[in-house]
Amino acid sequence: MAERSSLFYAAAGAASSGERELTKGVCYCCKTALAAGPRGLLVAAWRHVYPGNLRDIAFAVSRDRGQTFSSPVRVSEDGWAINACPDDGPAIGVDGRGTVHLAWRTVIGGSDPEGALFYASTTDGRTFTPRVRIPTLGAFNPTHPQLVVDGRGRIAVAWDEVVEGRRVAAARQLIVKSNRQVDFAPIVTLSSDGPATYPTLAATERGLLAVWPTGGETSVIRARTIGVP
C-alpha cells in the first residue's frame, strides 16, 4: 500500500513550479517536515517504508531553492517494523551554518518494546551523526516531537507523553558541543493544569514560544514562553 503513496513538492509565488514527485514508498499518515536554510537550502524529512515494513526516517535536500532534490537517504536504521502507519512523523530545523537538525520517534527494545525520541544532524545532507536518545519524562511512549532552531543556533525539542494517566507536554534544550556530543538542559513541563498534546515551538526575540491544545471535546489552545539560557 505504501508504494501507492508518493511525496510531492511544488512552489508558489516568485518561485512558482508545478508539482513533481520526489519519491514513492511514503508512510502517508505521518507528517512530512520541510525547512529552509541559508543560500537557497531546502530540506525535507519523512517516515519512509523500507522493505520488511521498516518505518525509518528518510531525508532529501535541495540547494537551488527547490528546483531539484537529492535522492532520498536514510537518517538512521532503527529497525522498527510495523504493518501500520504510526501517524508520528519527524521534525526538522536548520541553523545559520546550514547544519540540519532532526528529531523523531521510533520503537526500540525487541521483545520488550518501548517508544523513544532520537536526535541526529547532518552537515552535508548525505551522512548523519549517530542517533542520540532524547531523555523524556520516563513514560514508555513519548510522541509527536517538534524541533526549533533559534537565531543563535540554540536547539529545542517538544513532545507529549502519558504520565500517571495524564497526557503531558514538555520541552527541553539540546546542547550540541563542538565534537557533536549532545547534552540536555532540564525538562520544562509546559502545562500543569490539565492535559496537553501536540506541542509546537517557535523562536522569538524573548525566547521560545510553546503552543499546545488541551485535547478533548472542549479543547483550548494554550501558549507560554520558555526562557533559554
The distance of Cα 19 from the centroid of its chain, to the nearest Å, equals: 24
End-to-end distance of the chain based on CA atoms, in angstroms? Answer: 46
pLDDT per residue over 75-125, tens digit each?
999 999 988 888 999 999 999 999 999 999 999 987 788 999 999 999 999
One-letter amino acid of 119: Y
- pTM for the complete prediction? 0.93
Grid coordinates representing 217 are 471535546
Write down the pLDDT at residue 229.
54
- Residue 216 CB coordination number (10 Å): 10
The DSSP 8-state label assigned to residue 90 in this structure reads -
Q: Is 216 left (phi over 0), alpha (psi -120 to 50) or beta?
A: left
pLDDT per residue over 127-160, tens digit each?
999 999 999 998 788 999 999 999 889 999 999 9
Q: 24 - beta bridge partners? A: 6
